[in-house]
């Protein structure tokens, strides 16, 4: 993998479970690391879910192989969060391919 191809800055956020004052559990995301990546736009459509029009977008992020990424984490790119759908490690090119979908919040 050539370092010049990693031209976009992304952040990896990890979930933590906290207990509120009322005893309920809440999932909060905190910054794990910031790194460089190559980003590809996969698809974007217009769908209706629960009488609401949403525009789901799927992107592929290619990062170095040493970035600690797991499924429950999220990727922040250009101010938007993406939920990780799949992680593919390629040992031949020493990189990790992350396929993620835009979070609709």
pLDDT range class, residue 2, cuts 50, 70, 90:
low
| CATH number of the CATH domain containing 20 | 2.40.10.270
Q: Looking at the 3D structure of the chain, how many domains does it have?
A: 1
Tell me the pLDDT tens digit for each residue of 30-43.
999 999 999 988 77
30 to each of 12, 14, 22, 75, 94, how far by Cα in Å?
9, 6, 22, 11, 26
Give pLDDT, residue 20.
86
Domain that holds residue 67: 3-102
Mean pLDDT of the chain: 86
Beta bridge partners of 44: 57
99 to each of 21, 48, 61, how far by Cα in Å?
36, 22, 6
- The 3-state DSSP class for residue 50 equals coil
């Amino acid at each position: 993998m050539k370092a010049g191809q990693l031209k976009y800055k992304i952040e990896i956020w990890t979930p933590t479970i906290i207990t509120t004052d009322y005893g309920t559990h809440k999932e909060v995301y905190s910054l794990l690391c910031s790194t460089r990546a190559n980003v590809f736009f996969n698809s974007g459509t217009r769908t209706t879910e629960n009488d609401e029009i949403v525009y789901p977008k799927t992107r592929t992020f290619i990062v170095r192989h040493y970035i600690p990424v797991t499924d429950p984490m999220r990727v922040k790119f250009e101010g938007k969060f993406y939920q990780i759908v799949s992680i593919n490690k390629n040992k031949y090119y020493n990189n990790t391919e992350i396929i993620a979908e835009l979070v609709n919040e």
